[in-house]
Structure 1
Amino acid sequence: MGAAKSKRVPRAVREQQMLDAAVRTFARRGYRAASMDEIAEGAGVSKPLVYLYLNSKEELFSRVIRRESAALVAAVTAAVEPGAAADRQLWSGLKGFFAHTAERPDGWAVLHQQARTQGEPFAVEVAAMRAEIVRFVTVLIGAAAKEAGCDGELADREVAGLAHALVGAAESLAEWANARTADGTSAFGVSGERERPTAKETAATLMNFVWAGLGRLMAGERWAPGG
Structure 2
Amino acid sequence: MGAVKTKRMPRAVREQQMLDAAVRTFGQRGYMAASMDEIAELAGVSKPLVYLYLNSKEDLFTACIRREAKALVEAVRGGVRPGLPADRQLWEGLRAFFAHTGQNPDGWAVLHLQARTREPFAAEVTAMREEIVAFVTELIVVAAREAHRNPDLPEREVAGLAEALVGAAESLAAWANATPGVTARQAAATLMNFAWAGLGNLMDGRPWSPPQEPSETAGPRPA
Q: TM-score scaled to structure 1, two decimals?
A: 0.90
Secondary structure of 1:117's match?
Answer: coil
Q: Which amino acid aligns with 2:132?
A: I
Cross-structure match for 1:198: 183
Cross-structure match for 2:41: 41
For residue 82 of structure 1, report the CA deviation from its aligned partner: 1.3
Cross-structure match for 1:108: 108
Q: Which runs of 5+ in 2 are unaligned?
A: 214-223
CA separation in 2, counterparts of 1:225 and 1:66?
44
Rate the CA distance shift 1:139–1:91 in 2: closer, same or farther, 3 A: same
CA separation in 1, counterparts of 2:162 and 2:211?
22
Rate the CA distance shift 1:94–1:139 in 2: closer, same or farther, 3 A: same
Report if aligned partners of 2:172, 2:187 keep a CA contact under 8 Å in 1. yes
Q: Which runs of 5+ in 1 are unaligned?
A: 180-186, 189-195
4+ runs deviating over 6 angstroms: none
Identical-pair percentage:
70
Report if aligned partners of 1:142, 1:151 keep a CA contact under 8 Å in 2. no
Deviations along 1:90-144, one digit per CA (max 9) or x if unpaired, are 1110011000001111000000000011111x00000000000000000000122
Cross-structure match for 2:199: 214
Report if aligned partners of 1:19, 1:60 keep a CA contact under 8 Å in 2. yes
Q: Which amino acid aligns with 1:164?
A: E
> How do residues 1-227 of structure 1 correspond to structure 2 at under 5 angstroms?
1-120=1-120, 122-149=121-148, 151-152=150-151, 154-179=153-178, 187-188=179-180, 196-221=181-206, 222-227=208-213
For residue 86 of structure 1, report the CA deviation from its aligned partner: 1.0
Q: Which amino acid aligns with 2:102?
A: A
Secondary structure of 1:178's match?
Answer: helix
CA separation in 1, counterparts of 2:212 and 2:172?
31
CA separation in 2, counterparts of 1:162 and 1:213?
10
Report if aligned partners of 1:22, 1:64 keep a CA contact under 8 Å in 2. yes
Secondary structure of 1:209's match?
Answer: helix
Rate the CA distance shift 1:200–1:151 in 2: closer, same or farther, 3 A: farther
Rate the CA distance shift 1:51–1:19 in 2: closer, same or farther, 3 A: same
Secondary structure of 1:82's match?
Answer: coil
Deviations along 1:131-190, one digit per CA (max 9) or x if unpaired, are 0000000000012202312545731110110010010000010000011xxxxxxx42xx
Q: TM-score scaled to structure 2, two decimals?
A: 0.91
